[in-house]
Amino acid sequence: MTSLRQRMVEDMQIRNLAPDTQVSYVGHVARFARYCQRRPEELGAEDVRRYQLHLINDKRLAPTSVVGAVAALRFLYQITLKQAWAVDAIIPPKRPQTLPVVLSPEEVVRFLAAIPDLKHRTILTTCYAAGLRLSEVLHLTVADIDSHRMVMHVAGGKGQRDRYVMLSPTLLHGLREWWRTTRPTAWLFPGQRSGHPMDKGAVQWACRLARFRSGIVKPLTPHSLRHAFAVHLLESGTDLRTIQLLLGHRQLETTSRYLRLATTTVCATTSPLDLLPRPVASGGSPRR
């Protein structure tokens, strides 16, 4: 490991960035250096600008993908190398305000029923039942399941924030069935390597297979179940603030985007056209 990389890793550790974020940032910086064929400390604002155009025009990356590279380079030059020009010169692209596709309750049932493996089905059911990110589910421990209070403890979520979420009685039954099968002692869903949780890749692959088996044509990832959780709660009358706490969002604005997806709530609103006074029937003469 080079001294610059070591320094950047230490800076990220001091700021308590998530391990996945640290790996991502280091990877982005390494690709940037390979593209420019020079050490990062020898490069400047014009090189960063040229690299951004390369990602957009040559690699044809989506704005959301470019955002990660920009964030890594801003951290490198602003925090680690302390370059004053980094704040104004490294500008992240504007993210498009797209809406995710949401599964209906019937599609969720079809999807989960199409997963033959008990472990994969239990993991993805937990994603939907509690609105958890896949990484959060895979890092659950046996001790995180509190059947007395009917809550689950989510440790070290996004932004390193802990929270509690509801424990569905139906989910608890499924978790107990899974526990009786393998008797895990530490991680609720242990991986093949001893002492490590299950890897994301296996679950993502199981998700793709289940989508094919179920015949669902909508785009579907484990995160789609988190979106469905939020929208289905909103459509059933749960207030936005409660959903924010369950999802672990820092800002209510992030949660409020689900208002645009709750069609049974938003689209059921009466149009003002239907509230207008009825016009006088045609052919009649107005009374004097």
Residue keyed to tokens 């969002």: 249
Catalytic residue chosen out of the listed positions 54, 158, 200, 213: 158
Query: Cα separation of 238 and 266, whole Å?
Result: 14
Interstrand relation of 145-146 and 163-166 (parallel, antiparallel or unpaired) = unpaired
Question: Would you tell me how many other CB atoms lie within 10 Å of the CB of residue 111?
Answer: 26
Query: Cα separation of 243 and 254, whole Å?
Result: 11
Q: Answer for the pair 157, 163: CB distance below 8 angstroms, yes or no.
A: yes
Catalytic residue chosen out of the listed positions 25, 51, 77, 258: 258
CA distances from 225 to 8, 109, 121, 232, 264 (A): 35, 11, 12, 10, 18
60 is catalytic: no
249 is catalytic: yes
28 is catalytic: no
25 is catalytic: no
145: tokens are 């399941």
Query: Cα separation of 188 and 182, whole Å?
Result: 10
227 is catalytic: no
Query: Cα separation of 39 and 76, whole Å?
Result: 12
Catalytic residue chosen out of the listed positions 133, 139, 227, 232: 133
Query: Cα separation of 206 and 277, whole Å?
Result: 56
Catalytic residue chosen out of the listed positions 74, 226, 227, 232: 226
Q: Locate all alpha helices (DSSP H) within the chain, ordered by sequence.
A: 3-14, 19-36, 45-53, 63-74, 86-89, 105-113, 118-130, 134-138, 169-182, 200-214, 222-235, 240-247, 252-256, 263-266
Active-site annotation, residues: 133, 158, 223, 226, 249, 258
